[in-house]
Amino acid sequence: MTRARIKKEILLVLAITFGASGLRSLLRLIDDLLSPVALNDQAVSLTTPQATSVWLDLGLQLVSAGVLFSWGGLALYLLSGDGVRIGHIRWNDLGWGAGLAALIGLPGLIFYATAVHLGLSKQVIPTTLDSPWWEVPILLLWSGANAFGEEIVVVFWLLTRLRGLGWSVPAMIIVSSLLRGSYHLYQGVSAGFGNIIMGVVFAWFYHRTGKVWPLVIAHFLIDAVAFVGYTALGGNLSWLGL
């Protein structure tokens, strides 16, 4: 693939996926900062009902999660045209994924709680869904969709394409991590910085190992624990001091 074609592909894919999400999040953050209400007195829910009808809500949740899976699928399809394959999940990927989840997840909770108290983050409510019989499966599906879409596009595909342009490793890691941070800005300033750190760790891991499945697994575990754990606690964040 020529350099010109790679550049066009990067612009197009980011324009319809996480690049647009990053710009939208930045604009939302600016609006939130201009609000007379302090940032840490504002709240944002990551997964909300999308319809009053239970069945329509379920359908919309499935479609929305499917969009993220399709973004990852698009990236894989484009890479396959150049013979780049993701490979199969191996048993040791599970161990690496669990380790990365612990490395990122536990400090992340402390970082988030501190940021809220310092006024750098909104109060993040993992879910406001209220359909007990399908809530947990849908939250797990969302966890998988977020993990697959983000890690395939933001790490596997983007780093592969930037490598094709001859970018240096530090430059690729910086761009990938900044992109990850950008589309989390709607949660607050600290969410952007926190996800940049996560992006650096994940991109560096992929560069060193060539493995992307551990990143997908780690991301899934982090989101699943946040979503399902919040539900299990009945929406109580007091254990974080909030």
Between 121 and 163, name the one with better pLDDT: 163
Mean pLDDT of 2-19: 95
Over residues 122-145, the pLDDT tens digits come to: 788 877 887 777 888 999 999 999
CA 161/CA 5 separation, integer angstroms: 10
Between 93 and 235, name the one with better pLDDT: 93
Q: Which pLDDT does position 118 carry in this prediction?
A: 74
Q: Which pLDDT does position 238 carry in this prediction?
A: 41
Q: Which pLDDT does position 134 carry in this prediction?
A: 85
Between 113 and 52, name the one with better pLDDT: 52
Neighbours of 206 (CB within 10 A): 21
CA 30/CA 203 separation, integer angstroms: 28
Between 237 and 223, name the one with better pLDDT: 223
CA 112/CA 119 separation, integer angstroms: 11
Q: What is the dihedral of CA 103, 149, 94, 96, to 10 degrees?
A: -40
Q: Which pLDDT does position 239 carry in this prediction?
A: 38
SS3 of residue 53 by DSSP: coil
CA 173/CA 162 separation, integer angstroms: 10
Q: Which pLDDT does position 171 carry in this prediction?
A: 97
